[in-house]
A and B are shown apart, each in its own frame.
Chain A
Amino acid sequence: MKCTYACNSAEHTMARRQFLGGVLGGAVGVVGGLGALAQPSFAEQLKKEQKRVLVFNMAGGLSQLESWDPKPGTDTGGPFRAIPTSVPGTHISELLPKTAEQMHHLAVIRSINTRQGDHGKGSYEMFHGRRQTPGMVYPNIGAVMAKALGSDKRSLPGHVVVSNSTGGRGNNAAYLGPQFASISVGSGQPPNNSARPDGLEEKADLLRNDFRRQVNDQFTARRRTAKTDIYTQNYEQAISLMNQRDVFDISKEPQAVQDRYGDSEFGKHCLMARRLLENGVTFVQVSHSNYDTHNENFNFHLEQLGEVDAPFSTIVADLHERGLLESTLIVMLSEFGRTPNINKYYGRDHWGNAWSVCLGGAGIQPGAVIGKTNDNGTAVADREVDHGHLFHTYLRAVGLDNKGSFNVGGKPIPMADPAYDCIEELII
Chain B
Amino acid sequence: MTFFDETSEAVKTEPTQVYISQQWKYEPSPLINCGFDPSGNYVFGTARDFALVRFSLADGAQKVYKGHESWSRGMAFTHDGQHIITGGCDDKIIWWNVNDEAEAPAPVRTVEAHKGWVRALAISPDGTLLASGGNDNMVRIWNVSDGALVREMSGHVKDVYSVFFHPSGEFLMSGDLAGQVKQWETATGNEVRNFDSKDLHTYNGGQKVDYGGVRSITMSPDNNMIAFSGLYKATNPLGAVNEPLITLFDWEKGEKVKSLVMDNVKGILWRAEFHREGYILGASGGSGGGVLGFWKPEEEKAFHQLKMPDTAVEMDLHPDGVQVATVHYDRHLRISRLEKKPEEPAKEG
Binding site for B on A (CB under 8 A): 1-3, 6, 8-9, 60, 72-73, 75, 78-81, 289-290, 292-296, 299-300, 302-304, 342, 344-345, 347
Contacts and interface: CB of A to CB of B under 8 A. Distances in A.
B45 to A, nearest CB: 16
Contact of A6 (B71, B90, B207, B286): B207
B16 interface: no
Contacts of A292: 207, 238-239
Contact of B208 (A2, A6, A294, A342): A6
Please provide the 5 A-B residue pairs with the shortest distance between their CB atoms, ordered closest to farther. A295-B240, A1-B239, A344-B329, A79-B89, A79-B71
B70 interface: yes
Nearest to A288: B208
Interface residues of B, number: 32
- Tell me if A's interface is mostly helix, strand, loop or mixed: loop
B134 to A, nearest CB: 12
Contacts of B205: 8
B238 A344 contact: no
Interface in B67-117: 69-71, 89-90, 117
B90 A293 contact: no
B238 A3 contact: yes
A6 B208 CA distance: 8
Contacts of A81: 69-70, 90
Nearest to A294: B239
Given A81-B69, A344-B310, A345-B286, A304 B238 contact: no
Nearest to A295: B240
A174 B70 CA distance: 49
A60 B239 CA distance: 12
Interface string B289-316: 0000000000000000000001100000
Contacts of B30: 342, 344
A33 B311 CA distance: 67
A300 B177 CA distance: 12
Contacts of A342: 30, 48
B27 to A, nearest CB: 12
Contacts of B237: 295-296, 300
B89 A290 contact: no
B339 to A, nearest CB: 29
A403 B241 CA distance: 47
Given A3-B239, A8-B206, A79-B89, 7 more contacts: A6-B207, A73-B50, A75-B29, A78-B71, A295-B237, A299-B211, A302-B135
